[in-house]
């Protein structure tokens, strides 16, 4: 049996709940057509240990910390889980760790600076940070994804104020990235297959996607690029996007991936 877990509503903002559900349900339809028994779970009604033990494979969009920990335990007991919960945990909880891992593997990323609060939780605009302005302040919140997670800032004072506001509101993993002009390219990846929308795809995207997959351990993900004169730079990596622009192709590829033996 294949278990499919919907994403919790707080992690599907801006009307994305039906879109996220649509890709999961499209995969379920294809799995049934391939002779598989499937069962859907909501992240709010997460499968019990007994229910997990009845599954052969679990395809999950879950992002809650409690869900990811339960999936990690099931994986240790031998359940094949896509995406790997430890990989999802990194991308969901820390943009800075994600970008640092990519940068360490020579994958081109947007210039960024990570905010680390001092003992008194104060923050000042360091000279290194000033070189990134105008730019974007981005952060994660344990309660979910909101429009306030990303803010445009033009001056050191604006950056200082926004970071202090976010820290006071409980945001974590606050970073500042440089604003770069250029077309936005969104690339959707399922294992070795990918689809790009938004701009003409430059050469090398397939190789970058393959390296991102290896570095982060994700099999189903999206990459946001800004296309600059120096080449494509990664702005963000998203685990299990809704694949709205290529849902049919992605659903077919995901269904086939679910039935493959797990990779080491």
Residues 80, 42 share a domain = yes
In a domain, 173, yes or no: yes
Please check the confidence at residue 128 and state whether its pLDDT lies above 90.
no
Q: Which of 178, 206, 221 is a domain's end point? A: 178
Residues 117, 70 share a domain = no
In a domain, 233, yes or no: no
In a domain, 192, yes or no: no
Counting residues of the chain whose pLDDT is more than 90, the rounded percentage is 69
| Mean local confidence (pLDDT), 232-259 | 96
Q: What is the pLDDT of residue 264?
A: 60
State the Cα–Cα distance between residues 61 and 217, nearest whole angstrom: 15
Please check the confidence at residue 152 and state whether its pLDDT lies above 70.
yes
Please check the confidence at residue 252 and state whether its pLDDT lies above 70.
yes
CATH number at residue 144: 3.30.1490
Residues 6+ apart with CB under 8 A from 56: 1, 2, 79, 80
State the Cα–Cα distance between residues 63 and 88, nearest whole angstrom: 7
| Mean local confidence (pLDDT), 93-104 | 93
Q: Are 16 and 48 in contact (CB under 8 A)?
A: no
Please check the confidence at residue 125 and state whether its pLDDT lies above 90.
no
Residues 46, 8 share a domain = yes
Residues 70, 16 share a domain = yes
What are the structure tokens assigned to 154, written together?
């033009």
Residues 10, 63 share a domain = yes
pLDDT band at 13 (very low <50, low <70, confident <90, very high): confident
Residues 57, 116 share a domain = no
Least Cα distance to 235 among 191, 190, 175, 193 occurs for 175
In a domain, 208, yes or no: no
At 31, which helix (H) or strand (E)?
A: helix 16-33
Residues 10, 75 share a domain = yes
Least Cα distance to 253 among 30, 19, 20 occurs for 30
At 174, which helix (H) or strand (E)?
A: strand 172-178
Write the DSSP symbol of residue 148: G
In a domain, 249, yes or no: no
In a domain, 160, yes or no: yes
| Mean local confidence (pLDDT), 50-65 | 94
Number of domains comprising the chain: 2
Please check the confidence at residue 120 and state whether its pLDDT lies above 60.
no
Residues 6, 79 share a domain = yes
CATH number at residue 30: 3.40.50
| Mean local confidence (pLDDT), 48-70 | 94
In a domain, 74, yes or no: yes
Q: Which of 145, 178, 211 is a domain's end point? A: 178
Task: Give the range of the structural domain holding residue 120, as residue numbers without chain letter.
Answer: 111-178
Q: Which of 178, 204, 227 is a domain's end point? A: 178
In a domain, 150, yes or no: yes
Q: What is the pLDDT of residue 117?
A: 60
């Amino acid at each position: 049996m294949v278990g499919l877990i919907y994403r919790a509503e707080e992690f599907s903002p801006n009307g994305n709940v039906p879109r996220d559900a649509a890709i999961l349900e499209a995969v379920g339809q294809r799995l049934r057509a391939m002779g598989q028994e499937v069962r859907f779970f909501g992240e709010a009604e997460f499968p019990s240990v007994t229910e997990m033990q009845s599954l052969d494979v679990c395809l999950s969009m879950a992002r809650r910390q409690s869900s990811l920990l339960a999936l990690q335990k099931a994986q240790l007991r031998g359940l094949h889980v896509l995406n790997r919960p430890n990989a999802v945990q990194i991308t969901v909880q820390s943009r800075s760790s994600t970008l640092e891992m990519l940068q360490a593997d020579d994958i081109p990323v947007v210039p960024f600076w990570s905010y680390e609060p001092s003992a008194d939780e104060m923050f000042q605009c360091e000279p290194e940070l000033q070189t990134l302005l105008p730019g974007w302040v981005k952060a994660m919140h344990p309660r979910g994804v909101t429009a306030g997670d990303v803010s445009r800032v033009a001056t050191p004072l604006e950056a200082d104020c926004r970071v202090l506001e976010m820290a006071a509101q409980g945001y974590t993993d606050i970073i500042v990235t440089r604003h770069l002009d250029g077309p936005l390219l969104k690339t959707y990846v399922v294992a070795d297959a990918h689809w790009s929308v938004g701009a003409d795809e430059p050469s090398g995207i397939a190789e970058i996607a393959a390296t991102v997959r290896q570095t982060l351990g994700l099999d189903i993900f999206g990459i946001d690029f800004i296309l600059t004169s120096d080449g494509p730079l990664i702005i963000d990596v998203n685990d299990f996007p809704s694949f709205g622009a290529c849902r049919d192709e992605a659903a077919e590829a995901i269904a086939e991936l679910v039935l493959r033996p797990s990779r080491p």
